[in-house]
């Protein structure tokens, strides 16, 4: 029996220990205690077994301001903690490339649903951002177009916020998640956020346009998925 198997067995036994049948409850509790002793598990280990992680690939290696804001919005809505993971490797051409993932940490299925929602939202926002960039004048410099697109995306995230929060309606066990983060990811540090809007003067109209587009986003339950899994159209 592996440690994970033992954790699952212990949780079942603890559930049975609350049975109205005194003999059954006592036997289940004794078995749970024996397994905990055999595998060196504490009560905290049993609680943290409900915490899991799910990840989604970021749009780029850089932590863009709009994407980071969207990831935090989704994490809060689904009762999760989140952080970025940046790893590098050599590709087939011999070049060193970096890949960023957003990691969601939560209880039960919350991380999986949050990661799925983030993936769909990021894709939708990125598509709308590119469409907005395409509308800019041809004589506009690429760096200015990027800044305007990012400003639009920031507005888009602000526009979709209320819908995401109302849609998720998930609680958060902050104490449990904090204990998990301290045990599993004690060395996390603040990273750099890329904000192109500071380098170029961006008119408020771009943010407003994004806000209107974000408010028009539609949320619905995913077709063919689990009951908890939701999609954002």
User: Which residue carries 């690939």 as its tokens?
Assistant: 57
Name which of 82, 96, 206 is nearest 154 in CA terms: 206
Q: How many CA atoms lie within 13 A of 65 on its CB side?
A: 17
pTM across the whole model = 0.73
State the Cα–Cα distance between residues 5 and 108, nearest whole angstrom.
Answer: 17
State the Cα–Cα distance between residues 167 and 161, nearest whole angstrom.
Answer: 10
State the Cα–Cα distance between residues 88 and 84, nearest whole angstrom.
Answer: 13
pLDDT > 60? residue 42? yes
pLDDT band, residue 13 (cuts 50/70/90): confident
pLDDT digits (tens, 9 = 90+) for 87-113: 999 988 899 999 999 999 998 888 998
How far, in Å, are 70, 96, 130, 159 from residue 65 at the CA level? 9, 24, 16, 15
- Residue 72 · residue 82 · CB < 8 Å: yes
Average of per-residue pLDDT across 198-211? 83
pLDDT digits (tens, 9 = 90+) for 213-228: 999 887 665 433 444 4
User: Which residue carries 């004589």 as its tokens?
Assistant: 139
What local confidence, expressed as pLDDT, does residue 224 receive?
Answer: 34
Domain residue ranges of the chain, discontinuous segments joined by + = 3-48, 52-232
- Residue 232 · residue 221 · CB < 8 Å: no
Lowest mean per-residue pLDDT among 145-149, 165-169, 193-197: 165-169
State the Cα–Cα distance between residues 61 and 58, nearest whole angstrom.
Answer: 7
Average of per-residue pLDDT across 185-206? 82
């Amino acid at each position: 029996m592996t440690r994970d198997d033992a954790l699952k067995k212990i949780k079942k036994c603890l559930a049975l220990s609350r049975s109205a049948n005194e003999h059954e409850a006592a036997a289940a509790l004794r078995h749970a205690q024996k397994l905990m002793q055999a595998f060196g598990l504490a009560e905290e280990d049993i609680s943290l077994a409900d915490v899991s992680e799910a990840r989604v690939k970021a749009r780029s290696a850089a932590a863009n301001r709009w994407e980071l804001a969207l990831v935090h919005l989704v994490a809060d809505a689904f009762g999760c903690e989140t952080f970025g993971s940046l790893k590098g490797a050599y590709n087939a051409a011999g070049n060193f490339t970096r890949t960023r993932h957003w990691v969601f940490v939560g209880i039960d299925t919350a991380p999986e649903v949050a990661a799925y929602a983030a993936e769909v939202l990021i894709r939708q926002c990125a598509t709308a951002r590119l469409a907005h960039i395409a509308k800019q004048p041809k004589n506009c410099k690429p760096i200015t177009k990027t800044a305007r697109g990012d400003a639009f995306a920031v507005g888009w995230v602000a526009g979709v916020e209320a819908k995401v929060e109302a849609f998720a309606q998930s609680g958060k066990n902050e104490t449990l998640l904090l204990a998990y983060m301290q045990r599993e990811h004690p060395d996390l540090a603040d990273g750099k956020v890329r904000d192109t809007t500071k380098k170029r003067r961006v008119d408020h109209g771009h943010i407003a346009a994004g806000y209107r587009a974000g408010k028009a986003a539609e949320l619905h339950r995913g077709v063919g998925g689990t009951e908890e899994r939701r999609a954002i159209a």
